[in-house]
Chain A
Amino acid sequence: MKKGILLTMLLTMALLPLSAFSQMKIGYMNPDSVLRDLPEVATIEAQVQGYIEEREQAFQDRYQAWIALFSEYNEQTQQGLLTEEEIAAKEQELAEEEQELTLLQTRIQNQIAARQNELFTPVLERLDRGIRAVSEQMGLDMVLNRQTGMGDPIIYFAGGQSVDITESVLNYLLENNE
């Protein structure tokens, strides 16, 4: 009787720490690679590219107009067709338009960044949900990024016990198109 209690106690003591002190389970992945393989990302990239081209065309049109204005002014002054007052007015106009062009360029850059952001946010949120779902399924405590966006490694080495969830996340997202 006494022996039985002692044995049970010892066995419980021996088994308990395995669950109480379970190791942290850490996985890693390459989210950029998942994004590259998602079909919707190609569509979004094409949309962004289209938008960039459209905005650049808008800038080009305005820039060409400025060049035309400048050439006209150059020719007219060369031929001595303009009075000093007219020259001053033209120069003023050219300078103002040039400033407008610089502003337009910044505005276009901001517009492109905003559009990119707007189009990519839903995908990034979906990716995040996928990472969460797969991590929970696999009972992971933490998932690290394998490398930065510039390609600098964060994880240089992952040994035999390590879990790369890149494939699982991609498959999850391909199967669960919510």
Chain B
Amino acid sequence: MNTLQMNTFRIFSTLLIALSCVILSVPQLQAQDMKIGYVDPRVVLEKMPEMKAVQQRLQNFAERKQSELSAKEQELQQEFLAYQERSATGMMDEEAMAREEERLGQMDLELRQQQALAQQELDQQRVQLMSPLLEQIQGAINSVAEAKGLSYVLNTTTSAGDVIILYVSEEMEQEYNITDAVMMELGI
């Protein structure tokens, strides 16, 4: 090889290396953009030891409210039966009947309002008790995602039971289902 040939070869190979670097970097960048993992939070929640306590507390709360309300419901039923009996005997005039009906209607309305309120309180309790657990899970997801270099972590299923991820290939499942990794991170 003479000097000229040498130089041409050097320039040529430098260019080729530069070119291949560009080619190399493009798909790598795209691949980094597209690394998506996923988690089934229900599986994680079910395994968390704190979850049992949360469920127990929610159940106790619901039962307490239920017994309060059913006592009121029975009271209303009895009053209604008593009113029917009295009106059947014809001992009440129309004005008294209208008054009594209004009073019973008011009681019924109040009972319904209390039922709605109890449901609201139960929902609030659930949010309050669950949020520390969800925060823990979120923290573990963050660590696992960072370690794996994921850009996104999706939820598989909504709390209402709607499926978000319909299909995952086997390779994808092995690499990007981080549910187990999240549980390991949480030490469960």
Contact = CB atoms under 8 A, between A and B. Distances in A.
Nearest to A135: B167
A143 B167 contact: yes
Given A24-B36, A149-B162, A141 B169 contact: yes
A29 to B, nearest CB: 7
Nearest to B78: A95
A135 B30 CA distance: 22
B28 interface: yes
A141 B172 contact: yes
Interface in A99-131: 131
B160 A142 contact: no
A141 B31 contact: no
Given A77-B88, A78-B88, A144-B166, A150 B24 contact: no
A144 B164 contact: yes
Interface in A34-86: 74, 77-78
Interface string A3-24: 1001100110110011001111
Interface string A141-177: 1111100111000100000000000000000000000
Interface residues of B, number: 35
Given A131-B166, A142-B168, A6 B13 contact: yes
A31 B166 contact: yes
A154 B164 contact: yes
Interface residues of A, number: 34
Contacts of B89: 77-78
A3 B30 CA distance: 31
Nearest to B172: A141
A142 B20 contact: no
A132 B27 contact: no
A22 B169 CA distance: 14
A23 B166 contact: no
Contact of B30 (A11, A23, A26, A91): A23
A74 B84 CA distance: 9
Interface string B1-40: 0000000010001001101100110011011001110000
A93 interface: no
B13 to A, nearest CB: 6
B163 interface: yes
Interface of A: 3, 6-7, 10-11, 13-14, 17-18, 21-24, 26, 29, 31, 74, 77-78, 91, 131-132, 135-136, 140-145, 148-150, 154
Per CB-CB distance, the 6 closest pairs between chain A and chain B, nearest first, are A148-B162, A143-B167, A14-B20, A21-B31, A141-B172, A143-B166
